Structure 1
Amino acid sequence: MESCFICDKHAGSLQVSGDCIYEDDSIYISHIDKKGQPTYLGHIMLDLKRHVPQIGDMTEDEAAAFGIAMKRTAKALQETLLAEHVYTLVSGNAVPHVHMHIIPRYAGTPEEYWGPMDVYGWPDAPFGGHAEIKEITEKLQCFMKENYHANV
Structure 2
Amino acid sequence: MSSRQAKELLIYENEMFSLEQSAACPIPGYLILRLKGPEASLAQLSKKTAQLLGVMLKRVTNAIEQAVKPERVYVLSFCEIEPRLHFHLFPRTAWLLKEYFKANDCANDPVNGPMLFEWARSAFGPGSHVPQGTPDMETACGIMRDILK
Q: What is the TM-score normalised by the length of structure 2? A: 0.70
Q: Counterparts of 1:63 and 1:55 in 2: how far apart (Å)? A: 7
2:12 aligned to 22, 31, 35, which one? Answer: 22
| Structure 1 residue 124 displacement after superposition | 9.0
| Structure 1 residue 119 displacement after superposition | 4.4
- What residue identity is the alignment partner of 1:19? L
Q: Counterparts of 2:139 and 2:36 in 1: how far apart (Å)? A: 24
| Structure 1 residue 135 displacement after superposition | 2.6
| Structure 1 residue 107 displacement after superposition | 2.1
Identify the residue that residue 113 of structure 2 maps to in structure 1. 115
Q: Counterparts of 1:18 and 1:94 in 2: how far apart (Å)? A: 23
Q: What is the TM-score normalised by the length of structure 1? A: 0.69
Closer/same/farther in 2, CA of residues 134 and 89 from structure 1, 3 Å limit: same
Structure 2 gaps, min length 5: 131-135
Identify the residue that residue 139 of structure 1 maps to in structure 2. 143
Closer/same/farther in 2, CA of residues 121 and 91 from structure 1, 3 Å limit: closer
In terms of fraction of residues, the more strand-rich structure is 1
Counterparts of 1:96-111 in structure 2, within 5 Å, are: 96-108=83-95, 109-110=97-98
- What residue identity is the alignment partner of 2:28? L
Show CA shifts across 1:36-64 (max 9, x none): xx532221101101121222111222111
Q: Counterparts of 1:17 and 1:121 in 2: how far apart (Å)? A: 27
In terms of fraction of residues, the more helix-rich structure is 2
- Number of aligned residues: 128
| Structure 1 residue 102 displacement after superposition | 0.4
Preserved CA contact (<8 Å) 1:28 1:48: yes
Q: Counterparts of 2:35 and 2:129 in 1: how far apart (Å)? A: 26
Calculate the aligned-residue CA RMSD, in Å: 3.1
1:93 aligned to 56, 63, 80, which one? Answer: 80
Deviates more, 1:89-98 or 1:54-63: 54-63
